[in-house]
Amino acid sequence: MEKNELSKSWADTIFAITLFQEDLAAAKKFYQSVFELEAVWEDANSCVFKIGKTMINLLDVSKADELLSPARMAKVQAGARAVYTIHVEDVDAMCTKLKAQGVTLINGPLDRPWGIRTASFADPGGTIWEIAK
């Protein structure tokens, strides 16, 4: 094998992220208005959007066990376990736009010690999204 073949990971693209939602209708509205996305597929239990090439599957919590078993879904009150970051050109301008849409920021805009400016907010199901530049 060549050196490049050894260093290439099989995990080169995130195909889909599933986010569990207690209120699927509210989550769908949130992603349509805040992220300015259109659903690419939906049924009674799921609504799928695309951010770049990654599918964001909003799934009603009533169907989580089918996907996770034997693992269990954590309750929203358990706290955040992940943050999804989207690059933006101007964090401050995006924060102004988010606030105008009624989005409550968790933090930011902040200049981080590692050299980027960020701000965070949550979707209706408690998923944390960060914008960064």
List the structure tokens of 3. 């050196």
**pLDDT for residue 1 is more than 50:** no
- The CATH class given to the 75-133 domain equals alpha beta
Residue pLDDT, tens place only, 38-67: 999 999 999 999 999 999 999 999 999 999
3-state secondary structure of 41: strand
- Domain spans in the chain, listed from the N-terminal domain onward: 13-73, 75-133
Of the chain, the percentage scoring pLDDT greater than 90 comes to 80
The stretch 13-35 carries a mean pLDDT of: 96
What span, in angstroms and rounded, lies between the C-alpha atoms of 76 and 20?
A: 9
Question: What does the H/E/C string look like for 54-113?
Answer: EEEEEEEHHHHHHHHCCCCCCCHHHCCCCEEEEECCCHHHHHHHHHHCCCCEEEEEEECC
Q: Do domains 13-73 and 75-133 have the same CATH topology?
A: yes
pTM of the model: 0.85
β-strand pairing of 128-132 with 117-122:
antiparallel
Predicted local distance difference test score (pLDDT) of residue 13: 85
Q: What is the CATH number of domain 13-73?
A: 3.10.180.10
